[in-house]
Structure 1
Protein backbone atom coordinates (compact mmCIF):
# COMPACT_ATOMS: atom_id res chain seq x y z
CA UNK A 1 0.00 0.00 0.00
CA UNK A 2 1.56 3.34 -1.02
CA UNK A 3 2.01 5.91 1.71
CA UNK A 4 2.46 9.69 1.78
CA UNK A 5 5.92 11.01 2.51
CA UNK A 6 7.52 14.41 2.80
CA UNK A 7 10.07 15.11 0.09
CA UNK A 8 13.34 16.98 0.46
CA UNK A 9 11.80 20.17 -0.97
CA UNK A 10 9.06 20.03 1.74
CA UNK A 11 6.38 18.93 -0.74
CA UNK A 12 4.49 15.63 -0.40
CA UNK A 13 4.87 12.56 -2.56
CA UNK A 14 3.92 8.90 -2.56
CA UNK A 15 6.14 6.10 -1.29
CA UNK A 16 5.72 2.42 -2.13
CA UNK A 17 5.49 0.09 0.88
CA UNK A 18 9.00 -1.21 0.07
CA UNK A 19 10.33 2.37 0.16
CA UNK A 20 11.40 4.68 -2.64
CA UNK A 21 9.27 6.96 -4.76
CA UNK A 22 5.82 5.71 -5.65
CA UNK A 23 2.89 6.87 -7.68
CA UNK A 24 1.02 5.48 -10.63
CA UNK A 25 3.14 4.63 -13.65
CA UNK A 26 1.54 4.18 -17.08
CA UNK A 27 3.21 1.69 -19.41
CA UNK A 28 2.05 2.13 -22.99
CA UNK A 29 2.24 0.15 -26.23
CA UNK A 30 1.12 1.75 -29.48
CA UNK A 31 0.50 -1.23 -31.74
CA UNK A 32 0.31 -1.52 -35.52
CA UNK A 33 -0.63 -4.46 -37.73
CA UNK A 34 3.07 -5.37 -37.97
CA UNK A 35 3.57 -5.50 -34.16
CA UNK A 36 4.43 -9.01 -33.01
CA UNK A 37 4.79 -10.57 -29.55
CA UNK A 38 7.02 -8.16 -27.65
CA UNK A 39 8.13 -6.92 -24.26
CA UNK A 40 6.48 -3.64 -23.24
CA UNK A 41 8.23 -3.00 -19.90
CA UNK A 42 10.81 -4.54 -17.56
CA UNK A 43 10.43 -3.75 -13.87
CA UNK A 44 13.28 -2.02 -12.03
CA UNK A 45 11.61 -2.69 -8.65
CA UNK A 46 8.46 -4.45 -7.36
CA UNK A 47 5.16 -3.18 -8.83
CA UNK A 48 1.46 -4.01 -8.63
CA UNK A 49 -0.68 -3.96 -11.79
CA UNK A 50 -3.69 -1.68 -11.14
CA UNK A 51 -5.44 -1.47 -14.54
CA UNK A 52 -5.20 -2.44 -18.21
CA UNK A 53 -7.03 -0.40 -20.84
CA UNK A 54 -6.80 -0.10 -24.58
CA UNK A 55 -8.32 1.67 -27.54
CA UNK A 56 -8.79 0.37 -31.06
CA UNK A 57 -8.16 3.20 -33.53
CA UNK A 58 -8.43 1.05 -36.66
CA UNK A 59 -10.02 -2.39 -36.34
CA UNK A 60 -8.07 -5.27 -37.84
CA UNK A 61 -9.60 -6.89 -40.92
CA UNK A 62 -7.79 -10.24 -41.07
CA UNK A 63 -10.28 -12.23 -39.00
CA UNK A 64 -10.19 -12.90 -35.27
CA UNK A 65 -7.20 -11.29 -33.57
CA UNK A 66 -6.65 -10.81 -29.84
CA UNK A 67 -3.87 -9.95 -27.44
CA UNK A 68 -3.10 -11.05 -23.90
CA UNK A 69 -0.93 -8.92 -21.62
CA UNK A 70 1.37 -11.19 -19.62
CA UNK A 71 3.79 -11.04 -16.68
CA UNK A 72 6.97 -12.73 -17.86
CA UNK A 73 9.87 -13.53 -15.51
CA UNK A 74 13.42 -13.39 -16.88
CA UNK A 75 14.27 -16.53 -18.86
CA UNK A 76 10.60 -17.27 -19.71
CA UNK A 77 9.07 -17.15 -23.19
CA UNK A 78 6.35 -14.52 -23.67
CA UNK A 79 3.73 -17.17 -24.48
CA UNK A 80 4.54 -18.99 -21.21
CA UNK A 81 4.03 -15.91 -19.02
CA UNK A 82 1.09 -15.37 -16.67
CA UNK A 83 -1.96 -13.52 -18.03
CA UNK A 84 -2.57 -10.34 -16.04
CA UNK A 85 -6.28 -10.33 -16.90
CA UNK A 86 -9.22 -12.51 -17.83
CA UNK A 87 -10.41 -12.62 -21.43
CA UNK A 88 -8.40 -10.81 -24.08
CA UNK A 89 -8.04 -7.49 -25.90
CA UNK A 90 -9.89 -7.58 -29.24
CA UNK A 91 -7.83 -5.97 -32.02
CA UNK A 92 -10.79 -6.29 -34.41
CA UNK A 93 -13.14 -4.64 -31.91
CA UNK A 94 -15.11 -1.47 -32.49
CA UNK A 95 -12.97 1.36 -33.85
CA UNK A 96 -12.55 4.41 -31.59
CA UNK A 97 -13.80 2.46 -28.56
CA UNK A 98 -12.00 1.69 -25.30
CA UNK A 99 -11.68 -1.75 -23.78
CA UNK A 100 -11.02 -2.15 -20.06
CA UNK A 101 -9.67 -5.60 -19.25
CA UNK A 102 -10.70 -7.31 -16.01
CA UNK A 103 -7.61 -7.97 -13.91
CA UNK A 104 -6.80 -11.46 -12.69
CA UNK A 105 -8.53 -12.34 -9.41
CA UNK A 106 -5.28 -13.97 -8.19
CA UNK A 107 -3.33 -11.26 -6.32
CA UNK A 108 0.08 -12.88 -6.93
CA UNK A 109 -0.52 -12.67 -10.71
CA UNK A 110 -0.55 -8.88 -10.42
CA UNK A 111 2.72 -8.57 -8.48
CA UNK A 112 5.83 -7.87 -10.54
CA UNK A 113 9.26 -8.47 -9.03
CA UNK A 114 12.29 -6.48 -10.15
CA UNK A 115 13.32 -8.06 -13.47
CA UNK A 116 9.83 -9.28 -14.45
CA UNK A 117 8.55 -7.98 -17.77
CA UNK A 118 5.13 -7.08 -19.11
CA UNK A 119 4.59 -8.47 -22.59
CA UNK A 120 2.12 -8.31 -25.49
CA UNK A 121 1.10 -11.80 -26.71
CA UNK A 122 -0.75 -11.69 -30.04
CA UNK A 123 -3.03 -14.41 -31.41
CA UNK A 124 -4.29 -14.19 -34.99
CA UNK A 125 -3.41 -11.78 -37.79
CA UNK A 126 -3.60 -8.08 -36.98
CA UNK A 127 -4.19 -6.97 -40.59
CA UNK A 128 -4.63 -3.15 -40.59
CA UNK A 129 -5.04 -3.01 -36.76
CA UNK A 130 -3.88 0.19 -35.06
CA UNK A 131 -4.38 1.16 -31.43
CA UNK A 132 -2.99 1.54 -27.96
CA UNK A 133 -2.72 -0.53 -24.77
CA UNK A 134 -1.85 0.94 -21.37
CA UNK A 135 -0.97 -0.90 -18.16
CA UNK A 136 -1.13 1.17 -14.98
CA UNK A 137 1.38 0.18 -12.29
CA UNK A 138 1.89 1.19 -8.69
CA UNK A 139 5.17 0.61 -6.84
CA UNK A 140 4.80 -2.19 -4.29
Structure 2
Protein backbone atom coordinates (compact mmCIF):
# COMPACT_ATOMS: atom_id res chain seq x y z
CA UNK A 1 0.00 0.00 0.00
CA UNK A 2 1.49 3.42 -0.93
CA UNK A 3 2.59 5.60 1.96
CA UNK A 4 0.34 8.53 0.89
CA UNK A 5 -2.71 6.35 1.29
CA UNK A 6 -1.65 5.37 4.81
CA UNK A 7 -1.21 9.03 5.76
CA UNK A 8 -4.64 9.86 4.35
CA UNK A 9 -6.26 7.03 6.26
CA UNK A 10 -4.61 8.10 9.52
CA UNK A 11 -5.63 11.74 8.95
CA UNK A 12 -9.23 10.76 8.17
CA UNK A 13 -9.40 8.55 11.28
CA UNK A 14 -8.10 11.38 13.48
CA UNK A 15 -10.59 13.88 12.05
CA UNK A 16 -13.46 11.41 12.52
CA UNK A 17 -12.39 10.80 16.13
CA UNK A 18 -12.39 14.52 16.93
CA UNK A 19 -15.78 14.96 15.29
CA UNK A 20 -17.27 12.01 17.17
CA UNK A 21 -16.44 13.83 20.42
CA UNK A 22 -16.85 17.54 19.57
CA UNK A 23 -19.14 17.95 16.54
CA UNK A 24 -22.56 19.53 16.90
CA UNK A 25 -25.46 20.01 14.49
CA UNK A 26 -25.24 23.17 12.39
CA UNK A 27 -27.18 24.60 9.48
CA UNK A 28 -25.39 26.39 6.67
CA UNK A 29 -27.51 28.99 4.86
CA UNK A 30 -26.09 30.00 1.47
CA UNK A 31 -26.61 33.68 0.64
CA UNK A 32 -25.87 35.90 -2.34
CA UNK A 33 -23.98 39.16 -1.95
CA UNK A 34 -27.24 41.03 -1.31
CA UNK A 35 -28.08 38.77 1.70
CA UNK A 36 -30.82 37.00 -0.27
CA UNK A 37 -30.88 33.18 -0.41
CA UNK A 38 -28.56 31.72 -3.05
CA UNK A 39 -30.91 29.42 -4.93
CA UNK A 40 -28.01 27.63 -6.65
CA UNK A 41 -26.99 26.08 -3.30
CA UNK A 42 -29.27 24.40 -0.77
CA UNK A 43 -29.47 24.90 3.00
CA UNK A 44 -27.45 22.05 4.52
CA UNK A 45 -27.54 20.51 7.96
CA UNK A 46 -24.07 19.32 8.91
CA UNK A 47 -22.26 18.08 11.98
CA UNK A 48 -18.94 19.76 12.78
CA UNK A 49 -16.97 21.19 15.71
CA UNK A 50 -17.80 24.86 16.31
CA UNK A 51 -15.55 26.81 18.65
CA UNK A 52 -17.02 30.11 19.77
CA UNK A 53 -14.55 32.63 21.15
CA UNK A 54 -11.87 30.76 19.24
CA UNK A 55 -9.10 32.26 21.35
CA UNK A 56 -7.47 34.67 18.92
CA UNK A 57 -6.26 37.82 20.58
CA UNK A 58 -6.72 36.54 24.13
CA UNK A 59 -3.15 37.03 25.34
CA UNK A 60 -2.47 39.73 27.94
CA UNK A 61 0.75 40.97 26.36
CA UNK A 62 1.75 44.33 24.90
CA UNK A 63 0.68 46.34 27.93
CA UNK A 64 -3.07 46.11 27.43
CA UNK A 65 -5.74 44.40 29.44
CA UNK A 66 -6.44 40.90 28.13
CA UNK A 67 -10.16 41.56 28.42
CA UNK A 68 -9.94 44.41 25.93
CA UNK A 69 -8.32 42.10 23.40
CA UNK A 70 -10.96 39.35 23.31
CA UNK A 71 -12.71 39.35 19.96
CA UNK A 72 -16.42 39.25 20.79
CA UNK A 73 -18.68 37.00 18.76
CA UNK A 74 -15.98 35.17 16.82
CA UNK A 75 -16.02 31.47 16.10
CA UNK A 76 -14.56 28.78 13.85
CA UNK A 77 -16.13 25.73 12.27
CA UNK A 78 -13.94 22.81 11.14
CA UNK A 79 -15.81 20.71 8.56
CA UNK A 80 -14.64 17.21 7.62
CA UNK A 81 -14.11 17.25 3.86
CA UNK A 82 -14.43 13.44 3.64
CA UNK A 83 -17.98 13.65 5.04
CA UNK A 84 -19.06 16.78 3.10
CA UNK A 85 -16.99 16.73 -0.12
CA UNK A 86 -19.61 18.68 -2.11
CA UNK A 87 -20.29 21.40 0.48
CA UNK A 88 -19.65 24.89 -0.91
CA UNK A 89 -19.51 27.71 1.64
CA UNK A 90 -18.78 31.31 0.69
CA UNK A 91 -18.05 34.52 2.53
CA UNK A 92 -21.37 36.09 3.53
CA UNK A 93 -23.18 32.79 4.13
CA UNK A 94 -24.76 32.23 7.56
CA UNK A 95 -24.25 29.39 10.06
CA UNK A 96 -26.69 28.53 12.84
CA UNK A 97 -25.90 26.36 15.87
CA UNK A 98 -29.24 24.57 16.07
CA UNK A 99 -28.63 22.64 19.30
CA UNK A 100 -27.33 25.58 21.38
CA UNK A 101 -29.65 27.65 23.57
CA UNK A 102 -31.12 30.48 21.50
CA UNK A 103 -29.85 28.87 18.28
CA UNK A 104 -27.21 31.57 17.65
CA UNK A 105 -26.29 32.81 14.16
CA UNK A 106 -22.89 33.66 12.72
CA UNK A 107 -21.82 35.18 9.40
CA UNK A 108 -19.04 33.53 7.40
CA UNK A 109 -16.18 36.04 7.31
CA UNK A 110 -13.62 33.82 5.57
CA UNK A 111 -13.32 30.32 4.15
CA UNK A 112 -10.05 28.37 4.24
CA UNK A 113 -10.34 25.52 1.76
CA UNK A 114 -6.62 24.79 1.37
CA UNK A 115 -6.29 22.01 3.93
CA UNK A 116 -6.70 18.41 2.83
CA UNK A 117 -8.83 17.30 5.78
CA UNK A 118 -10.84 20.35 6.88
CA UNK A 119 -12.84 23.18 5.43
CA UNK A 120 -12.37 25.94 8.04
CA UNK A 121 -14.88 28.76 8.38
CA UNK A 122 -14.00 31.95 10.25
CA UNK A 123 -17.23 33.32 11.69
CA UNK A 124 -18.37 36.62 13.14
CA UNK A 125 -21.50 37.66 14.99
CA UNK A 126 -24.55 37.84 12.73
The TM-score with structure 2 as length reference comes to 0.28
Between Structure 1 and Structure 2, the one with more strand by share is: 1
User: TM-score normalized by structure 1?
Assistant: 0.26
